[in-house]
Amino acid sequence: MHRLRRSLPSLTALFAFEAAARLGSFTQAAAELGVTQAAVSRRIGALEQDIGRQLFERRNRRVCLTEPGQELFATVATAFGNLADTVHILRTPASKLTVAVSVAFGHFRLLPLLTSFRDTEPDIDLRVISEDTWEAPVDRQIDLAVRYGKLPFRGMTVVGSLQEKIVPVCAPSMAKRLEHLSVADLARRPDITKIDSASPEPSWLKWSGWFTQIGWHAGFENAKLRFSSYSDAAYAAMSGEGIALGWTHLLERPLSDGRLVALNLPALSPKERHYILIPDDRKPSPAVEAFSQWLAGMVPLTS
């Protein structure tokens, strides 16, 4: 251990180096570390002198890693990441689990099933984060995530996926009135309200995309009711406000209990799926494995 301490540079210098390499700026590294830019420059200069290699190319307001700098950064970033993961695991009891899902997946798929998980695993302290962001989480506090989109998800490993079909849906009372509704009627009749929703995921289908993908190119009335959340759009359809696009596996419960009805119109099978993701740089905890196995038993996941 004594020889190891003598052979390694100071941790202060390595922290400064890692921040500057990651951010590409001594100034931004200084702000993150809470020190002056001059202090970061001195620490990195001392590190370069200790190693005997130039680690950065200084370019006006930015800095770029040299080849030796890239080699050192790869090792330092991995070592710091592994250390942070180990400390996190030691600080967090194995019975704690943080799961991140979209608001819609939380409402329609996860929350109705949670009683089953809590009955199965009563000792696991579960924290659910519902957020309408489709990026794979990089927060090390998140143990498992459900995200809709296309592969790959940076930094995450897929442990299962939920295939989808997309079809227009509405309340039963409206479906009864529109029993013989055609695509042309849906496109052109101004008395039929189409409900749309926004999403940060570009592949999340809207009416314009649905009409295009089913081969309808004759023009259509735009959606007259729009929501920022897909959950709100689905609830508006349940309330009889109009017709929304329905992801049939996401909305399995309201479709099965009759709150929503799938209309006799073309259904699409998107390339995107709901993916079950875990961080690929750390070993899943027993709580993660228990939740993954439980979820696979409750919803029709595929590998």
Please determine whether the domains at 2-87 and 96-161+272-298 fall in the same fold group of CATH: no
**Structure confidence at residue 213 as a pLDDT band (50, 70, 90):** very high
Q: Kindly list the domain boundaries of the chain, sorted by start residue.
A: 2-87, 96-161+272-298, 166-262
Classified by CATH at the fold level, domain 96-161+272-298 comes out as D-Maltodextrin-Binding Protein; domain 2 (3.40.190)
89 has a pLDDT exceeding 70: no
77 has a pLDDT exceeding 90: no
What is the percent of the chain with per-residue pLDDT over 90, rounded to a whole number? 41
How confident is the model over 12-63, as pLDDT tens digits? 889 999 999 999 899 999 999 999 999 999 999 999 999 899 999 987 778 8
Long-range contacts of 218-222 (CB under 8 A, 24+ apart): 218/184, 218/187, 219/187, 219/188, 220/186, 220/187, 220/188, 221/187, 221/188, 221/189, 221/190, 221/192, 221/194, 222/194
Q: Which CATH class is domain 166-262?
A: alpha beta
> What's the CA gap between 78 and 59, in Å, rounded?
26
Classified by CATH at the fold level, domain 2-87 comes out as Arc Repressor Mutant, subunit A (1.10.10)
CB distance 165 to 269 below 8 Å: yes
